[in-house]
Structure 1
Amino acid sequence: MPTANRLRLPLLALAALLSGCAVVSEEECQAGLWYERGIQDGARGRGQSLVYDIAQKCQEYGVRVDSEAWLRGHEEGVEQFCTPENGYFQGRRGHGYEGVCTGPTADLFMNGYRRGLADYQVAQEYRRLVDRRDYLERELYSVRAALSGTQNEETMRALRFQRGALARELQLLDMQLLRYGVFGFDFFY
């Protein structure tokens, strides 16, 4: 790859980040680094149909996309994407998968992806339980404060009932959280 193109590649990546959800910016269309853009899109696991969206957007700017160069780059980028380690990385972060891997690499990628996705789901459940526990503790504190500040017998009965229900749910949550054992919260973040 010529030096000028290597220097423009980081700028192209920066422009892609700054452009937000846009498929491609006018500057990217004008730059015409289709092979490099294909590598980036493939390495991000984007599907081949993206080139049609890019071509449509660039056509609005009066620029023709070199689809063949993009596809060659995309194929190279997909090779970088379709590793078992990256599969785990993508799944662990809960990222979607567009089905870009083929052949034996697809199986290896998917094995990693499934393991990562399972870990992600466990972490999400753990976070949900911890958040619920924090909420219940705040509620229990509020009920206890209300109990100490009331003289009304009927209100006290209702608050005691609520306190008991909160305490029981906290006990159940604690038992569920014990399933995560020694790893605890730090393991998942």
Structure 2
Amino acid sequence: MKLWKILTLISLSTAVALAGGCAVISENECQAGLWYERGIEDGARGRSQATVYQIAQKCHEYGVRTDTAAWLRGHEEGVEQYCTPENGFTVGRYGRDYEGVCTGPTADLFMANYQRGLVVYQAEQQYNALASRYDNVEREYYRITRALDEATTEKEAQALRSQRRSLMREMRHLEGEMMRFGGFGAFNPLLFY
């Protein structure tokens, strides 16, 4: 492959990564062509064949004709790179959407590993929600403790102590919930593989 094509492909990859779902394709990318290379890139990212129609529509707005056949050939090659069992796990583990691009014998292995990765991702999200709630409750606990030191009446102090006990119970409950995910303060993904 010529050096300029490789450099353009790298810059295309970088632009796609940075865009992260903004514009389908820029005018410069349309002008550059590189439809086969773009197809490989989109396939390797797990994008569906519907992507080429979005690209064609956008490039048409710029007055550029898309080589759909070249994109589809590249896409097929890219999908082969995408549809591995290892990548299935990675895609699920990071909570990315799967657009149903895998077919044939690799599809089942990809999907099984995607589901395994998704279980780990969802467990981590639950753990993070618990940890966030714990942090909020702990801050409130310390705020109530400071307010208790400054209480001026017994009635006010009693109400604050009751709130503090309730917050302490909630903190203990959250600690117990977090233990299901590997421990207090430490999510353990190995428990979910």
TM band (smaller chain): over 0.9
The answer to whether residue 7 in structure 2 is matched with residue 7 in structure 1 is: yes
Equivalence for 1:61:
62
Query: 1:2: how far off?
Result: 3.7
Using the alignment, how far apart are the partners of 1:22 and 1:126 within structure 2? 33
Contact in 2 for aligned 1:87/1:116 (Cα 8 Å): yes
Contact in 1 for aligned 2:131/2:185 (Cα 8 Å): no
Kindly provide the CA deviation profile for residues 83-138 of structure 1, in whole angstroms up to 9, marking residues without a partner as x: 11111101111111100001111111111110000000111111111111111111
Using the alignment, how far apart are the partners of 1:85 and 1:17 within structure 2? 21
Using the alignment, how far apart are the partners of 1:181 and 1:62 within structure 2? 56
Which AA in structure 2 matches 1:50? T
TM-score norm. by structure 2 comes to 0.91
Equivalence for 1:35:
36
Equivalence for 2:51:
50
Equivalence for 2:16:
16
Equivalence for 1:177:
178
Equivalence for 1:81:
82
Contact in 2 for aligned 1:16/1:25 (Cα 8 Å): no
Query: 1:186: how far off?
Result: 5.5
Query: 1:184: how far off?
Result: 5.5
Deviates more, 1:150-159 or 1:36-45: 150-159
Using the alignment, how far apart are the partners of 1:174 and 1:19 within structure 2? 39
**Cα gap change, 1:143 to 1:161, in 2 (>3 Å):** same
Contact in 1 for aligned 2:181/2:187 (Cα 8 Å): no
SS state at 2:177 partner? helix
Query: 1:11: how far off?
Result: 2.1
Aligned length: 188
- Could you list the structure 1 runs, at least 4 aligned residues long, displaced by more than 6 angstroms after superposition: none
Using the alignment, how far apart are the partners of 1:124 and 1:16 within structure 2? 26
Contact in 1 for aligned 2:39/2:70 (Cα 8 Å): yes
Which AA in structure 2 matches 1:36? E
Contact in 1 for aligned 2:12/2:29 (Cα 8 Å): yes
Which AA in structure 2 matches 1:64? R
Query: 1:178: how far off?
Result: 1.8
SS state at 1:121 partner? helix
Contact in 2 for aligned 1:93/1:116 (Cα 8 Å): yes
TM-score norm. by structure 1 comes to 0.93
Which AA in structure 2 matches 1:131? S
Which AA in structure 1 matches 2:182? G
The answer to whether residue 105 in structure 2 is matched with residue 104 in structure 1 is: yes
CA root-mean-square deviation: 1.7
Contact in 1 for aligned 2:175/2:184 (Cα 8 Å): no
Query: 1:176: how far off?
Result: 1.2
